[in-house]
Structure 1
Amino acid sequence: MSLLLRWPLSAVLVWLAAWLAHALAWPLAGPLAALLAASLVGAAGSLLERPWWRRALVAVGFPLALLLQGAAALPSWAWLLPLALLLLLYPLHAWRDAPVFPTPRGALAGLAGRVPLPPGAAVLDAGCGLGDGLLALRAAYPQAALHGLEWSWPLALLCRLRCRFAHVRRADLWAAPWGGYALVYLFQRPESMARAAEKARQEMAPGSWLVSLAFEVPGWAPQARLPGSAGQPVWIYQVPERGGGPPPGMSATGSGHASLPRRGAPT
């Protein structure tokens, strides 16, 4: 089964599923609805791909093939439907952030041993996408109060349905406050890590935790590093006093639990 999910077989499977959706929808709802249904299948399947160019190829594969072969007599504006669908899934506002890369299964194994949190501690997945990070956080902290922020409303809705154990809402992760969380988890991009560190320093309580998959915080000394998954380490940082520098050489298990935020996280 894992072989079928490898590139390019994974793309072929998504394209075949899109053609099947098109064939089934055409006699029932007409050409426009069939195009939209097939494009939705392709766009949803593209979210499982990485890097960005594979995602783009999978997403545009079906509408491009349909256009080139002239299989459908559609008005010219109809070809904007796939583009509109992609913009709904991944709006322009979020393009400066990381693409929709899912957190690999098991990536946060061992996190609770390095950063023990009390029951009910508020934990945030900032940019939760389809919820893979929330699932990994739940495996690490089954008694935590988990929260997710996602700017794309279709992804936020799907994540909410998939992760009913968490409080997921549509919001800009950079505008929403982080001050009520004991731990904030990120799977961003190298260019945004300095911004994330500054936001954590300004808003989060000293002694709380910033955890990043794959990418380090520039200028901060990590309190711990986990092997992660698929060659992507997990970097663990403790938030310093406001106005102070990053805490040098602190133990990842050295802070007490008394000051950590509990269930009163911002909603």
Structure 2
Amino acid sequence: MPLTMLIWPLPALLTWALAWAVFVGLRAAGLGAVAAFVLALLVSGAPAWTGRTPWRRAFMLGGFPLSLLVTGAAGALPGWVWLVPLALLLALYPLNTWRDAPLFPTPALALKGLALKAPLPAGAHVVDAGCGLGAGLKALHGEYPQARILGLEWSWPLTALCALRCRFAKVRRADIWAADWSGYDLVYLFQRPESMSRAMDKAARELRSGSWLVSLEFEAVGWAHRARLQNVDGKPVWLYQAPFQRR
């Protein structure tokens, strides 16, 4: 069962237990304290990043190092090693992405029926702008199995993990706002409400006639949508087709 399906705080407790198990196991195997600490953090970083909110992710990632301090087990660690959790957080969520949406995976059924509302020819180029760990890519691939699926992600650890999870897609590290959208037939994103205006302005400039912009949950206020899906409570899918029309 995915951690996101468990009742809070079970995901945090399991993440901390995993980190401690890795740390204790590596120390028992003779690995140094610093190396064991860093590897335990890296291993626990992936489940920690599935937390539903930024505070939960920080709580899940920070619980292990804080528990080391409380128990006194951190005595063998030099002071600089406490910068590692911060470095890991910045690697997963770089500074220039802080205005974008944090890592919220696309629910499995959220895009069901998208291909009926926004039909595309075989070989169409479909991109998930901000693909995270690939939940949206998998949903898009399920709807458009004959399309060329691409993912853009700025965080290099997430880019690497997503590429491993989604072998059917071409995943690359890129700034979604600097990338050229003109070659895509459909751009999918799961952003913040306040960034939807920026996304629509970019789509209006770059997407050719007939292409689609698809937004999970957040409507582009002031723009006329072509269709709307509602498969998951609280997660509507808004479909806009170029040339876009203001309301």
Q: Please state which band the TM-score falls in when normalised by the shorter chain.
A: over 0.9
User: 2 CA distance for matches of 1:229 and 1:122?
Assistant: 26
1:26 touches 1:33 (CA, 8 Å); kept in 2? Answer: no
For 1:164-183, what per-residue CA distance to the aligned partner results, in whole angstroms no more than 9, with x for missing partners?
Answer: 11110000000010000000
Structure having the larger proportion of residues in helix: 2
- Give the aligned residue type for 2:179: A
Q: Which residue of 1 aligns with 2:50?
A: 48
Q: How many residues align?
A: 244
- Look up the match of 2:203: 200
Q: What SS is found at the alignment partner of 2:229? A: strand
Matching of residue 236 in structure 1 with residue 235 in structure 2: no
The residue type equivalent to 1:229 in the other structure is: V
> In 2, distance between residues paired with 1:215 and 1:236?
11
Deviation at 1:41, TM superposition (A): 2.6
Q: In 1, are the aligned partners of 2:222 and 2:246 still within 8 Å (CA)?
A: no
1:35 deviates by 0.9
- Aligned residues of 1:213 and 1:228 also touching (Cα < 8 A): no
Counterparts of 2:156 and 2:11, CA distance in 1: 25
| More displaced 10-residue stretch of structure 1: 227-236 or 133-142 | 227-236
Measured in 1, the distance between the counterparts of 2:179 and 2:218 equals 22
Q: CA deviation at 1:2?
A: 6.9
Report deviation, 1:67. Answer: 1.7
Q: Does 1:117 align with 2:116?
A: no
Q: Secondary structure of 1:148's match?
A: strand
Aligned to 1:130: 133
- Does residue 1:70 correspond to 2:76, yes or no? no
Identity %: 61
Structure 1 residues 247, 239: CA separation in 2 closer, same or farther (over 3 Å shift)? Answer: farther
Residues 195 and 247 (structure 1), Cα distance of their counterparts in 2 relative to 1, 3 Å cut: closer
Residues 159 and 173, structure 2, Cα contact 8 Å, conserved in 1: yes
Residue of structure 2 in register with 1:60 after alignment: 62
Aligned to 2:213, what secondary structure does the other structure show? Answer: strand
Q: Is the 8 A contact 1:238 1:247 kept in 2?
A: no
Matches of 1:203 and 1:112, distance apart in 2: 22
> CA–CA distance in 2 between the matches of 1:134 and 1:95?
22
For 2:214, what is the secondary structure of its paired residue?
strand
Unaligned 5+ segments in structure 1 are 249-267
Matched-pair contact (CA < 8 Å) for 1:122–1:181: yes
Which one of 97, 103, 122 corresponds to residue 100 of structure 1?
103
Q: How does 1:164-179 map to 2 (within 5 A)?
A: 164-179=167-182
8 Å CA contact 1:239–1:247 kept in 2: the answer is no
8 Å CA contact 1:14–1:41 kept in 2: the answer is no
The answer on whether the counterparts of 1:209 and 1:236 sit within 8 Å (CA) in structure 2 is yes
